[in-house]
Amino acid sequence: MKVLVIGGDGYCGWATALYLSNRGYEVAILDSLVRRHWDLELCVETLTPIAPIQQRLQRWQDLTGKKIDLFIGDINNYDFLIKSLRQFQPDAIVHFGEQRSAPFSMIDREHAVLTQTNNVVGNLNILYAMKDEFPEAHLVKLGTMGEYGTPNIDIEEGYITIEHNGRKDTLPYPKMPGSYYHCSKVHDSTNIHFACRIWGLRATDLNQGVVYGVLTDETGMDELLINRLDYDGVFGTALNRFCIQAAIGHPLTVYGSGGQTRAFLDIRDTVRCVELAIANPAQAGEFRVFNQFTELFSVGSLAEKVREAGAALGLKVEVDHLDNPRVEKEEHYFNAKNTNLLDLGLQPHLLSDSLLDSLLNFATKYQHRVDKSQILPKVSWHRK
Ligand code: NAD
Ligand code: USQ
Protein backbone atom coordinates (compact mmCIF):
# COMPACT_ATOMS: atom_id res chain seq x y z
CA MET A 1 0.00 0.00 0.00
CA LYS A 2 1.30 3.46 -0.91
CA VAL A 3 1.12 6.05 1.87
CA LEU A 4 1.88 9.74 1.50
CA VAL A 5 2.88 11.31 4.83
CA ILE A 6 2.27 15.05 4.64
CA GLY A 7 4.28 16.79 7.38
CA GLY A 8 6.72 13.86 7.47
CA ASP A 9 9.66 16.01 8.57
CA GLY A 10 7.88 16.87 11.86
CA TYR A 11 7.69 15.19 15.27
CA CYS A 12 4.76 12.82 14.68
CA GLY A 13 5.22 12.56 10.90
CA TRP A 14 8.88 11.52 10.95
CA ALA A 15 8.27 8.73 13.48
CA THR A 16 5.21 7.59 11.49
CA ALA A 17 6.93 7.61 8.10
CA LEU A 18 9.78 5.41 9.37
CA TYR A 19 7.41 3.08 11.22
CA LEU A 20 5.24 2.54 8.14
CA SER A 21 8.29 2.09 5.91
CA ASN A 22 9.64 -0.52 8.33
CA ARG A 23 6.28 -2.30 8.27
CA GLY A 24 6.47 -2.71 4.49
CA TYR A 25 4.33 0.21 3.29
CA GLU A 26 5.61 2.17 0.31
CA VAL A 27 6.05 5.61 1.87
CA ALA A 28 6.66 9.12 0.56
CA ILE A 29 7.08 12.27 2.62
CA LEU A 30 5.70 15.63 1.55
CA ASP A 31 6.79 18.62 3.64
CA SER A 32 7.43 22.33 3.04
CA LEU A 33 10.02 22.36 5.88
CA VAL A 34 8.20 25.46 7.16
CA ARG A 35 8.46 24.22 10.75
CA ARG A 36 12.25 24.54 10.56
CA HIS A 37 11.67 28.10 9.32
CA TRP A 38 9.29 28.91 12.22
CA ASP A 39 11.91 27.65 14.69
CA LEU A 40 14.43 30.05 13.15
CA GLU A 41 11.93 32.90 13.25
CA LEU A 42 11.29 32.33 16.98
CA CYS A 43 14.97 31.61 17.66
CA VAL A 44 14.15 28.20 19.18
CA GLU A 45 15.62 24.77 18.46
CA THR A 46 14.64 21.20 19.16
CA LEU A 47 16.55 19.73 22.12
CA THR A 48 17.75 16.93 19.90
CA PRO A 49 19.82 17.91 16.84
CA ILE A 50 17.85 16.91 13.75
CA ALA A 51 19.63 16.38 10.43
CA PRO A 52 18.36 17.80 7.11
CA ILE A 53 15.54 15.66 5.74
CA GLN A 54 17.59 14.46 2.75
CA GLN A 55 20.35 13.15 5.07
CA ARG A 56 17.80 11.51 7.33
CA LEU A 57 16.24 9.68 4.39
CA GLN A 58 19.60 8.63 2.92
CA ARG A 59 20.60 7.17 6.29
CA TRP A 60 17.31 5.27 6.49
CA GLN A 61 17.90 3.81 3.03
CA ASP A 62 21.52 2.89 3.85
CA LEU A 63 20.44 1.18 7.08
CA THR A 64 17.35 -0.65 5.93
CA GLY A 65 17.48 -0.73 2.12
CA LYS A 66 14.06 0.97 2.11
CA LYS A 67 13.56 4.12 0.04
CA ILE A 68 11.22 6.91 1.11
CA ASP A 69 10.42 9.39 -1.69
CA LEU A 70 10.53 13.10 -0.86
CA PHE A 71 8.38 15.97 -2.14
CA ILE A 72 9.43 19.36 -0.78
CA GLY A 73 6.75 21.99 -1.13
CA ASP A 74 3.67 23.61 0.37
CA ILE A 75 0.21 22.03 0.20
CA ASN A 76 -1.19 25.57 -0.06
CA ASN A 77 0.31 25.46 -3.57
CA TYR A 78 -2.32 23.35 -5.38
CA ASP A 79 -0.21 22.86 -8.50
CA PHE A 80 2.65 21.40 -6.44
CA LEU A 81 0.26 19.24 -4.42
CA ILE A 82 -1.57 17.70 -7.38
CA LYS A 83 1.68 17.03 -9.28
CA SER A 84 3.15 15.27 -6.23
CA LEU A 85 0.00 13.15 -5.86
CA ARG A 86 0.03 12.25 -9.57
CA GLN A 87 3.63 11.16 -9.33
CA PHE A 88 3.19 9.07 -6.16
CA GLN A 89 -0.40 7.77 -6.64
CA PRO A 90 -1.16 7.23 -2.91
CA ASP A 91 -3.72 4.77 -1.54
CA ALA A 92 -3.69 6.64 1.78
CA ILE A 93 -2.85 10.26 2.58
CA VAL A 94 -1.79 10.85 6.18
CA HIS A 95 -2.03 14.56 6.87
CA PHE A 96 0.17 15.92 9.69
CA GLY A 97 1.23 19.03 7.74
CA GLU A 98 -0.16 21.91 9.76
CA GLN A 99 0.92 24.68 12.14
CA ARG A 100 0.30 22.83 15.38
CA SER A 101 1.13 25.14 18.27
CA ALA A 102 -1.65 26.84 20.23
CA PRO A 103 0.68 29.56 21.62
CA PHE A 104 2.08 30.26 18.10
CA SER A 105 -1.47 30.88 16.88
CA MET A 106 -2.08 33.31 19.76
CA ILE A 107 1.05 35.49 19.31
CA ASP A 108 -0.84 38.15 17.35
CA ARG A 109 -3.25 38.64 14.45
CA GLU A 110 -0.61 37.70 11.86
CA HIS A 111 0.12 34.36 13.51
CA ALA A 112 -3.58 33.58 13.95
CA VAL A 113 -4.18 34.30 10.25
CA LEU A 114 -1.09 32.35 9.21
CA THR A 115 -2.19 29.34 11.28
CA GLN A 116 -5.73 29.29 9.95
CA THR A 117 -4.73 29.97 6.33
CA ASN A 118 -1.97 27.38 6.37
CA ASN A 119 -4.13 24.73 8.00
CA VAL A 120 -7.59 25.30 6.54
CA VAL A 121 -6.52 26.07 2.96
CA GLY A 122 -3.94 23.26 2.89
CA ASN A 123 -6.54 20.76 4.06
CA LEU A 124 -9.12 22.07 1.58
CA ASN A 125 -6.60 21.69 -1.25
CA ILE A 126 -6.12 18.04 -0.28
CA LEU A 127 -9.90 17.51 -0.38
CA TYR A 128 -10.16 19.04 -3.88
CA ALA A 129 -7.18 17.00 -5.13
CA MET A 130 -8.87 13.85 -3.82
CA LYS A 131 -12.22 14.75 -5.37
CA ASP A 132 -10.67 15.54 -8.77
CA GLU A 133 -8.22 12.67 -9.17
CA PHE A 134 -7.99 10.36 -6.13
CA PRO A 135 -11.57 9.75 -4.95
CA GLU A 136 -10.76 6.23 -3.72
CA ALA A 137 -7.79 7.28 -1.55
CA HIS A 138 -8.28 7.31 2.23
CA LEU A 139 -7.54 10.56 4.06
CA VAL A 140 -6.16 10.03 7.57
CA LYS A 141 -6.18 13.50 9.07
CA LEU A 142 -4.64 14.56 12.36
CA GLY A 143 -7.20 16.45 14.40
CA THR A 144 -6.99 17.12 18.11
CA MET A 145 -8.80 16.31 21.34
CA GLY A 146 -8.74 20.07 21.95
CA GLU A 147 -11.50 20.45 19.36
CA TYR A 148 -13.96 19.35 22.05
CA GLY A 149 -12.70 21.61 24.85
CA THR A 150 -13.68 20.60 28.38
CA PRO A 151 -17.47 20.08 28.41
CA ASN A 152 -19.24 19.09 31.62
CA ILE A 153 -20.49 15.87 29.94
CA ASP A 154 -18.69 12.79 28.57
CA ILE A 155 -16.88 13.31 25.24
CA GLU A 156 -17.92 10.83 22.55
CA GLU A 157 -15.91 9.93 19.43
CA GLY A 158 -16.94 12.60 16.96
CA TYR A 159 -20.74 12.25 17.16
CA ILE A 160 -23.42 12.43 19.83
CA THR A 161 -27.04 11.28 19.75
CA ILE A 162 -29.33 14.03 21.03
CA GLU A 163 -33.02 13.98 21.87
CA HIS A 164 -34.57 17.42 21.63
CA ASN A 165 -38.25 18.36 21.88
CA GLY A 166 -39.25 14.76 21.24
CA ARG A 167 -37.03 14.25 18.17
CA LYS A 168 -33.71 12.43 17.97
CA ASP A 169 -30.61 12.72 15.75
CA THR A 170 -26.92 11.79 15.73
CA LEU A 171 -24.88 14.92 15.08
CA PRO A 172 -21.26 16.08 15.21
CA TYR A 173 -20.22 16.43 18.85
CA PRO A 174 -20.28 20.13 19.93
CA LYS A 175 -16.92 21.85 19.72
CA MET A 176 -15.35 24.37 22.12
CA PRO A 177 -11.74 24.85 20.94
CA GLY A 178 -9.23 26.66 23.17
CA SER A 179 -7.01 28.61 20.74
CA TYR A 180 -7.03 29.85 17.14
CA TYR A 181 -4.94 26.76 16.35
CA HIS A 182 -7.55 24.44 17.88
CA CYS A 183 -10.25 26.40 15.99
CA SER A 184 -8.43 25.61 12.72
CA LYS A 185 -8.84 21.90 13.47
CA VAL A 186 -12.57 22.35 13.99
CA HIS A 187 -12.82 24.12 10.62
CA ASP A 188 -10.85 21.26 9.01
CA SER A 189 -13.19 18.67 10.50
CA THR A 190 -16.24 20.51 9.19
CA ASN A 191 -14.70 20.71 5.69
CA ILE A 192 -13.73 17.03 5.62
CA HIS A 193 -17.14 15.90 6.86
CA PHE A 194 -18.82 18.00 4.16
CA ALA A 195 -16.53 16.59 1.42
CA CYS A 196 -17.36 13.03 2.51
CA ARG A 197 -21.09 13.81 2.37
CA ILE A 198 -21.15 15.52 -1.03
CA TRP A 199 -18.36 13.72 -2.93
CA GLY A 200 -18.30 10.32 -1.22
CA LEU A 201 -14.69 10.69 -0.06
CA ARG A 202 -13.46 8.40 2.71
CA ALA A 203 -11.74 9.99 5.73
CA THR A 204 -10.67 9.33 9.30
CA ASP A 205 -10.19 12.25 11.69
CA LEU A 206 -7.74 11.27 14.42
CA ASN A 207 -8.51 13.51 17.37
CA GLN A 208 -5.16 13.12 19.01
CA GLY A 209 -4.28 14.08 22.58
CA VAL A 210 -0.95 15.58 23.69
CA VAL A 211 1.93 13.37 22.50
CA TYR A 212 4.94 12.61 24.72
CA GLY A 213 8.20 10.72 24.33
CA VAL A 214 10.83 10.79 21.65
CA LEU A 215 12.09 7.28 21.00
CA THR A 216 10.51 4.84 18.61
CA ASP A 217 12.16 1.62 17.39
CA GLU A 218 13.06 3.28 14.10
CA THR A 219 14.20 6.73 15.24
CA GLY A 220 16.42 5.04 17.84
CA MET A 221 18.33 3.06 15.19
CA ASP A 222 20.84 5.81 14.47
CA GLU A 223 21.75 9.31 15.67
CA LEU A 224 20.91 10.71 12.22
CA LEU A 225 17.35 9.37 12.54
CA ILE A 226 16.72 11.09 15.88
CA ASN A 227 13.34 12.79 16.26
CA ARG A 228 12.74 16.39 17.27
CA LEU A 229 11.93 17.15 20.93
CA ASP A 230 10.56 20.63 21.58
CA TYR A 231 10.85 22.22 25.02
CA ASP A 232 10.34 25.94 24.36
CA GLY A 233 7.28 27.90 25.51
CA VAL A 234 5.71 27.94 22.04
CA PHE A 235 6.21 24.47 20.53
CA GLY A 236 7.07 22.43 23.64
CA THR A 237 4.16 20.39 25.02
CA ALA A 238 3.40 19.72 28.68
CA LEU A 239 5.03 16.41 29.66
CA ASN A 240 8.02 16.72 27.29
CA ARG A 241 8.65 20.19 28.70
CA PHE A 242 8.38 19.04 32.32
CA CYS A 243 10.96 16.25 31.80
CA ILE A 244 13.46 18.62 30.20
CA GLN A 245 12.88 21.24 32.89
CA ALA A 246 13.47 18.58 35.57
CA ALA A 247 16.69 17.41 33.95
CA ILE A 248 18.21 20.90 33.89
CA GLY A 249 17.01 21.95 37.36
CA HIS A 250 14.36 24.42 36.16
CA PRO A 251 11.16 24.48 38.26
CA LEU A 252 8.30 22.77 36.42
CA THR A 253 6.03 25.30 34.76
CA VAL A 254 2.50 24.33 35.77
CA TYR A 255 0.11 26.98 34.48
CA GLY A 256 -2.38 28.08 37.15
CA SER A 257 -3.69 25.48 39.61
CA GLY A 258 -2.74 22.56 37.34
CA GLY A 259 -6.22 21.00 37.46
CA GLN A 260 -6.44 21.19 33.62
CA THR A 261 -7.03 17.62 32.49
CA ARG A 262 -5.98 16.53 29.00
CA ALA A 263 -5.70 13.33 26.99
CA PHE A 264 -2.17 11.96 26.43
CA LEU A 265 -0.38 9.26 24.46
CA ASP A 266 3.12 7.94 23.86
CA ILE A 267 4.57 8.67 20.41
CA ARG A 268 4.97 4.89 19.97
CA ASP A 269 1.17 4.72 20.05
CA THR A 270 0.75 7.64 17.63
CA VAL A 271 2.49 5.61 14.92
CA ARG A 272 0.48 2.47 15.68
CA CYS A 273 -2.83 4.31 15.69
CA VAL A 274 -2.09 5.76 12.27
CA GLU A 275 -1.30 2.31 10.94
CA LEU A 276 -4.52 0.90 12.40
CA ALA A 277 -6.49 3.65 10.65
CA ILE A 278 -4.75 2.99 7.32
CA ALA A 279 -5.10 -0.78 7.53
CA ASN A 280 -8.86 -0.47 8.29
CA PRO A 281 -9.99 2.30 5.93
CA ALA A 282 -13.21 4.27 6.20
CA GLN A 283 -16.00 3.43 3.74
CA ALA A 284 -16.71 5.64 0.73
CA GLY A 285 -18.68 8.62 2.02
CA GLU A 286 -17.78 7.90 5.64
CA PHE A 287 -16.29 10.56 7.92
CA ARG A 288 -14.97 8.51 10.80
CA VAL A 289 -13.66 10.03 14.04
CA PHE A 290 -11.30 8.27 16.45
CA ASN A 291 -10.24 9.82 19.75
CA GLN A 292 -6.53 9.02 19.71
CA PHE A 293 -5.19 8.91 23.26
CA THR A 294 -4.49 6.31 25.90
CA GLU A 295 -4.73 8.07 29.28
CA LEU A 296 -6.11 11.20 30.95
CA PHE A 297 -4.03 13.26 33.37
CA SER A 298 -4.24 16.66 35.00
CA VAL A 299 -1.21 18.84 34.33
CA GLY A 300 -0.55 19.05 38.08
CA SER A 301 -0.53 15.26 38.46
CA LEU A 302 1.96 14.96 35.58
CA ALA A 303 4.28 17.44 37.27
CA GLU A 304 4.04 15.35 40.44
CA LYS A 305 4.94 12.16 38.51
CA VAL A 306 7.95 13.89 36.97
CA ARG A 307 9.03 15.17 40.40
CA GLU A 308 8.88 11.63 41.81
CA ALA A 309 10.71 10.07 38.84
CA GLY A 310 13.35 12.81 39.09
CA ALA A 311 13.81 12.21 42.83
CA ALA A 312 14.42 8.51 42.16
CA LEU A 313 17.23 9.54 39.80
CA GLY A 314 18.68 11.93 42.39
CA LEU A 315 17.26 15.12 40.83
CA LYS A 316 15.74 17.78 43.06
CA VAL A 317 12.67 18.88 41.15
CA GLU A 318 10.56 21.86 42.17
CA VAL A 319 7.07 22.56 40.88
CA ASP A 320 6.05 26.18 40.19
CA HIS A 321 2.51 27.36 39.63
CA LEU A 322 2.77 30.26 37.18
CA ASP A 323 0.01 32.74 36.41
CA ASN A 324 -1.81 30.97 33.61
CA PRO A 325 -1.00 32.68 30.29
CA ARG A 326 -3.98 30.88 28.71
CA VAL A 327 -7.69 31.40 29.18
CA GLU A 328 -8.90 27.90 30.09
CA LYS A 329 -10.76 26.12 32.88
CA GLU A 330 -8.39 24.92 35.59
CA GLU A 331 -10.84 22.77 37.54
CA HIS A 332 -13.33 20.86 35.41
CA TYR A 333 -14.92 17.55 34.50
CA PHE A 334 -13.16 15.65 31.71
CA ASN A 335 -14.07 12.19 30.55
CA ALA A 336 -13.48 11.14 26.95
CA LYS A 337 -14.19 7.87 25.13
CA ASN A 338 -11.37 6.19 23.20
CA THR A 339 -12.70 2.74 22.31
CA ASN A 340 -12.54 2.89 18.49
CA LEU A 341 -8.76 2.39 18.28
CA LEU A 342 -8.74 -0.13 21.14
CA ASP A 343 -11.40 -2.12 19.27
CA LEU A 344 -9.10 -2.18 16.22
CA GLY A 345 -6.38 -3.74 18.38
CA LEU A 346 -4.36 -0.88 19.90
CA GLN A 347 -2.35 -2.08 22.90
CA PRO A 348 -1.40 1.12 24.71
CA HIS A 349 1.99 2.02 26.13
CA LEU A 350 0.90 3.50 29.46
CA LEU A 351 2.91 6.25 31.08
CA SER A 352 5.52 4.50 33.19
CA ASP A 353 8.50 5.38 35.33
CA SER A 354 10.77 3.88 32.67
CA LEU A 355 9.38 6.27 30.05
CA LEU A 356 9.96 9.22 32.38
CA ASP A 357 13.48 7.92 33.09
CA SER A 358 14.19 7.66 29.38
CA LEU A 359 12.92 11.20 28.71
CA LEU A 360 14.92 12.52 31.68
CA ASN A 361 18.05 10.72 30.45
CA PHE A 362 17.57 12.07 26.95
CA ALA A 363 17.18 15.56 28.35
CA THR A 364 20.31 15.18 30.48
CA LYS A 365 22.30 13.97 27.47
CA TYR A 366 21.39 17.04 25.39
CA GLN A 367 21.10 19.59 28.21
CA HIS A 368 23.98 21.65 26.76
CA ARG A 369 21.59 22.57 23.91
CA VAL A 370 18.92 24.05 26.20
CA ASP A 371 18.34 27.78 25.92
CA LYS A 372 16.89 28.57 29.35
CA SER A 373 15.48 31.88 28.12
CA GLN A 374 13.01 29.91 25.97
CA ILE A 375 11.40 27.96 28.79
CA LEU A 376 8.98 30.41 30.38
CA PRO A 377 5.81 31.11 28.40
CA LYS A 378 5.77 34.50 26.64
CA VAL A 379 2.50 34.28 24.70
CA SER A 380 -0.68 35.36 26.45
CA TRP A 381 -4.32 34.63 25.60
CA HIS A 382 -5.44 37.64 27.67
CA ARG A 383 -6.54 40.99 26.26
CA LYS A 384 -3.77 43.45 27.19
P1 NAD B 1 5.42 19.46 13.73
O2 NAD B 1 5.40 20.94 13.69
O3 NAD B 1 6.58 18.79 14.38
O4 NAD B 1 5.31 18.87 12.23
C5 NAD B 1 4.43 19.40 11.26
C6 NAD B 1 5.11 19.30 9.91
O7 NAD B 1 4.23 19.79 8.91
C8 NAD B 1 6.39 20.15 9.84
O9 NAD B 1 7.47 19.39 9.38
C10 NAD B 1 6.02 21.27 8.87
O11 NAD B 1 7.13 21.72 8.10
C12 NAD B 1 4.93 20.62 8.01
N13 NAD B 1 3.97 21.57 7.42
C14 NAD B 1 3.26 22.53 8.07
N15 NAD B 1 2.50 23.22 7.20
C16 NAD B 1 2.73 22.68 5.96
C17 NAD B 1 2.26 22.98 4.66
N18 NAD B 1 1.41 23.99 4.44
N19 NAD B 1 2.70 22.23 3.62
C20 NAD B 1 3.59 21.22 3.83
N21 NAD B 1 4.08 20.90 5.05
C22 NAD B 1 3.67 21.64 6.11
O23 NAD B 1 4.05 18.99 14.40
P24 NAD B 1 3.69 17.57 15.07
O25 NAD B 1 3.82 17.72 16.53
O26 NAD B 1 4.38 16.48 14.38
O27 NAD B 1 2.13 17.51 14.74
C28 NAD B 1 1.69 16.89 13.54
C29 NAD B 1 0.17 16.92 13.46
O30 NAD B 1 -0.38 16.24 14.57
C31 NAD B 1 -0.40 18.33 13.47
O32 NAD B 1 -1.49 18.40 12.58
C33 NAD B 1 -0.87 18.51 14.89
O34 NAD B 1 -1.95 19.41 14.95
C35 NAD B 1 -1.28 17.09 15.27
N36 NAD B 1 -1.16 16.85 16.72
C37 NAD B 1 0.04 16.95 17.36
C38 NAD B 1 0.12 16.69 18.73
C39 NAD B 1 1.40 16.80 19.53
O40 NAD B 1 1.35 16.67 20.76
N41 NAD B 1 2.54 17.02 18.90
C42 NAD B 1 -1.05 16.32 19.42
C43 NAD B 1 -2.26 16.23 18.73
C44 NAD B 1 -2.31 16.49 17.37
N1 USQ C 1 0.66 23.55 30.27
C2 USQ C 1 1.24 23.82 31.49
N3 USQ C 1 2.58 24.08 31.51
C4 USQ C 1 3.36 24.07 30.39
C5 USQ C 1 2.74 23.77 29.14
C6 USQ C 1 1.39 23.53 29.13
O7 USQ C 1 0.59 23.82 32.53
O8 USQ C 1 4.56 24.33 30.49
C9 USQ C 1 -0.79 23.24 30.21
C10 USQ C 1 -1.60 24.14 29.29
O11 USQ C 1 -2.05 25.30 29.96
C12 USQ C 1 -2.72 23.21 28.86
C13 USQ C 1 -2.08 21.83 28.88
O14 USQ C 1 -0.90 21.94 29.67
O15 USQ C 1 -3.75 23.22 29.81
C16 USQ C 1 -1.70 21.30 27.50
O17 USQ C 1 -0.84 22.25 26.88
P18 USQ C 1 0.21 21.76 25.76
O19 USQ C 1 1.02 22.96 25.36
O20 USQ C 1 0.92 20.56 26.22
O21 USQ C 1 -0.77 21.28 24.61
P22 USQ C 1 -1.73 22.07 23.64
O23 USQ C 1 -1.48 23.52 23.62
O24 USQ C 1 -3.13 21.64 23.92
O25 USQ C 1 -1.27 21.52 22.22
C26 USQ C 1 -0.64 20.23 22.05
C27 USQ C 1 -0.08 20.20 20.63
C28 USQ C 1 -1.23 20.33 19.64
C29 USQ C 1 -2.28 19.26 19.93
C30 USQ C 1 -2.74 19.29 21.39
C31 USQ C 1 -3.60 18.09 21.75
O32 USQ C 1 0.86 21.27 20.45
O33 USQ C 1 -0.73 20.19 18.33
O34 USQ C 1 -3.37 19.46 19.10
O35 USQ C 1 -1.58 19.20 22.24
S36 USQ C 1 -4.90 18.53 22.87
O37 USQ C 1 -4.32 19.20 24.01
O38 USQ C 1 -5.57 17.32 23.23
O39 USQ C 1 -5.75 19.45 22.13
HEC string of 238-289? Answer: HHHHHHHHHHCCCCEEEECCCCCEEEEEEHHHHHHHHHHHHHCCCCCCCEEE
Distance (Å, rounded) from C-alpha 365 to C-alpha 49? 12
pTM for the whole structure? 0.98
179 lines ligand 1 (CB under 6 A): no
The yes-or-no verdict on residue 357 having pLDDT over 90 is no
Q: What is the pLDDT of residues 25-79, one digit of tens each?
A: 999 999 999 999 999 999 999 999 999 999 999 999 999 999 999 999 999 999 9
Q: How many CA atoms lie within 13 A of 166 on its CB side?
A: 0
Site to probe by mutation for ligand 2, drawn from 206, 210, 235, 324 as the one with most ligand atoms within 8 Å of Cβ, is 210
pLDDT at 55: 98
Residue 260 CA to ligand 2 center (angstroms) comes to: 10
CATH number of 2-374: 3.40.50.720
Residue 261 CA to ligand 2 center (angstroms) comes to: 10
Q: Whose CA is nearest to atom 21 of ligand 2?
A: 237
Distances (CA, A) of 192 to 133, 157, 210, 337: 16, 16, 22, 22
Mean confidence (pLDDT) of the chain: 97
Ligand 2 atom closest to 103 (CA):
23
42 lines ligand 1 (CB under 6 A): no
99 lines ligand 2 (CB under 6 A): no
Q: Whose CA is nearest to atom 34 of ligand 2?
A: 144
DSSP category for residue 325: S
Distance (Å, rounded) from C-alpha 282 to C-alpha 201? 9
pLDDT at 262: 98
Residue 264 · residue 228 · CB < 8 Å: no
Q: What is the pLDDT of residues 359-384, one digit of tens each?
A: 998 899 999 999 999 999 999 999 98
Q: What is the pLDDT of residues 262-318, one digit of tens each?
A: 999 999 999 999 999 999 999 999 999 999 999 999 999 999 999 999 999 999 999
pLDDT at 288: 98
Q: How many CA atoms lie within 13 A of 131 on its CB side?
A: 15
Ligand 2 atom closest to 258 (CA):
7
pLDDT at 332: 98
Q: Whose CA is nearest to atom 35 of ligand 2?
A: 210
The yes-or-no verdict on residue 355 having pLDDT over 90 is no
CA 189, 267, 336 angle in degrees (round to 5)? 50
Active site residues per annotation: 144, 181, 185
Q: What is the share, in percent, of the chain residues with pLDDT greater than 90?
A: 98
Q: What is the share, in percent, of the chain residues with pLDDT greater than 70?
A: 100
pLDDT at 12: 98
The yes-or-no verdict on residue 5 having pLDDT over 90 is yes
The yes-or-no verdict on residue 154 having pLDDT over 90 is yes
Q: Tell me the average pLDDT across 120-142.
A: 99
